[in-house]
Each structure stands twice: as C-alpha cells, then as structure tokens.
Structure 1
Amino acid sequence: MGDIVPIVFFLGLVALVLGAPRFGPFQERRRAATTARELTVRHDFAPSPTSALGQLPLAGPPFHYGSAHRLTDQVSGTLGALPVSAATYTCRENGSTHVYGVVLVAMPHPLAPVEVRHEPVFHSVRVIEPMPEGLARTGEAAFEGRYRAYTSDPHAALTVFSAEGARELLAAPEPCSWRTEGSDLLLWRAGGWSSAQALLGCVSVVASVLGAVDQVAAD
C-alpha cells in the first residue's frame, strides 16, 4: 500500500500537467458560449452564422498566426444605432488551442487608422509580431501602464489619445485590444469577455471615444 500511494499521486500529477493546456481553452470556450447566449437572451442579438465577421478577409491581430482558424458563437445585433457582430475565434499553434473573443462594429463613417493593445499580440520564433505605425503617447500614466496606442494620423493622436480620451478608455469594464479598419471597428480579447455586459461596455466606451473624434473633425 505504501508503494501504491506515491504511484497514484504521480499519475494524478502527470494527468493534471498534461490536461492543463486543454482545460484553459475549454473553460474559455464555455464562457464565450455563455456570453453569446446572454447577448441573445438579454440584449436582442440573434445567432448569425453568416455575420459580417465571417465575411471579412480577416487579417492582422489576432488572426495573423496559427492554423485551424474557426469562428463560433456568431451573433449579431445593435448597440444604439451601431450594428455589432460578435464571435469566438480559435486557432491552433504549436499543439495548443488559442481562444479570443472578437467583435466587429460598423461605424457610421470611415475612421483614421488607430490601434490599441492591452497586451502584446502573439509572436514567436516563427511568428513575427505585426507592428502598427506611430506609437502614440497620452500623458496618462495609468493608460500607459496598461495599453500601447498607435496611430499614423496626427488628428487622432490629439483626440483619441488625448488625456480625456485615455481616461475614458480606462473606464472600459475590461481591458481589450482594438483597431479601426476603414469604417469598421474590431475589438478582441484573449480568452474572451467575462460577460455580455462587459463586452457591450467595452464597445460602448471605444465607440464613444471614436464618435467624439468624428464630432471634433466635423466641427
């Protein structure tokens, strides 16, 4: 009996170590599915397997690496007057599954090229990190400590990344990364959002800051 206990303990430890890489993505996918259900039940979104996300030529982070790219939990709805599509994006890299929550927002006007990252995008010896142009500074220490902001547009640098804009972005319920592509706004978060409310809160904050830019530009 004395010899059996260490063996059982060792086998259990091995199973835990081998299963850990799979358990994390499983939990993330389950949480993402719950978020999608919340969007449909509480926020009038609808399942949309052919949403705008699935029709895009997806490029740039977080779509810049891996294999077995897949979109699931696709739902579409509106936030105010803005069309919003959300999905779970997964890919495989070096034997592991990587999970992201992704959201596409159709903004009413074309936007200056802007990108904000709350964490470094995936890169490795084989995967080059795509770097945007124009590192921007906000002067807000709290923002600089959590995000890296990029834009090649001088006007966006003075408005989106003003001290006021930085403070508004910090008010998002959860940190996330985002960028503009023409009139599209793409948000993403490794592991997905914790809830539908958090997802929509992030969209609302970022869209508000970009909307303020439109207003300033129009004036």
Structure 2
Amino acid sequence: MIRYIVLFLVASTQLVNAQKVDADLLRIKQRMDSLKQFSATVTLNLDVPFINMPTKKAQISYTKGSRMKFASKDFVMLPKRGLDFSLNGIFKYPFITVDRGPEKRNGRTLKVINVIPTDGKSDLVLVTLYMDTKAVRVVQSEINTRKDGSYTLLMQYATLANILPNYVEASFAIEKLKIPLNFMGKDTKIDRKKMCAIDTKTGKIKMQLNNYKVSMI
C-alpha cells in the first residue's frame, strides 16, 4: 500500500514539474515587460451601497517590477492590490497554469486559464484569467488571495493595438464587517447602519483612464 502511495506522489510531482506556463500568458507578459514606466490620470466612481462618494480624480504610476501606485490629494484608497492590472503580482512567485478552454464573451472567443502558485510565499491562492489571444492581452481576471479577499477586474481597451486599458472595473466581495474601501475625504459619507445591515459587503470601483504617458524599454 505504501509503495503505491509513494508511486502516486512521485507521479504527481513529475506531472507538476512537467507543467509548462501557458504560452499565450507568456506572450502577454512579454508585452507588459516592454513597458518600463507608465502613468495616467484616473476618473474614479465608487458603487458601494453604504458609501456615498462624489467622483474623484487620481493619478496612477507604474515602474516595471513594482506594483502600481495610486495618488490623490483628498483620499486614501484600500486595497490598492485589487486595482493593479499590471500582472506583476502573478509573476512574482513560481506557478503552474491550467487551460480551462475557450469561452465566448461579447462576440469574442477568450482563452480561460487558471494560475496556481506553487510557492507558499505567494499571497495569491488562485487566479483565473480571460485572455484575448489575438490582441495579446487580458480582458478579465478573477483573483483570490490569502489576506486581501477576492476581486474581479474587467478591462476595456480603446483600440485593438493597446496593451493598457482605458477603462477598468474592479468588483469586490469582502467578508462580513470588512469594508473593501476606506476613503478619507470630507465629501464622502458612510452609512454605518446600512453597512451593518448588509451581510456581504460588495461594491465596484469604476475607473476611466486618460492621458497615458508611457516609456518603453
């Protein structure tokens, strides 16, 4: 019995080791790696039932190898991780990919893959990517983390040639009594009673990105 268990474990290990990272994902990474830096202005709207916040303006900046950064004069936004569409966090630690097959979205055929980290240091548990292989970019990502909850990013692009989106919609589902966003600003109001009455805190951040400044390698 022990011999069969050992053989099973060896076979499983060999299978994992033989697993190659999806070629289309590597093509997208190669495109992203060609970006040395970029920045843009963001028009941000929040859709959370118990938070009333006027439209805000912010700046995003990215340097290769680092997370995207958000800056604004009148508010602080958390979690910043959930708004990062650079894919930098996915490639930080080793992982394997599983091809889930094609899926139709708005007349397009997207390739769906699971990204599964193999290093316990990664905060990511499971990432599902919906890739436009013809345009060589990601149009949706569903990310599950150990510490920062789960979120989904939907990305729209101005033209077929663009690697950076002009619109990003981030959806959050956070555990009870955890607010997905914390905005600091005199014109933002939180309805505490309504917040406590809702078991599952859900919401969306809608970001329109303009005035990109891009530096290529």
TM-score w.r.t. length of structure 1: 0.26
TM-score w.r.t. length of structure 2: 0.26
Select the structure that is richer in helix.
1
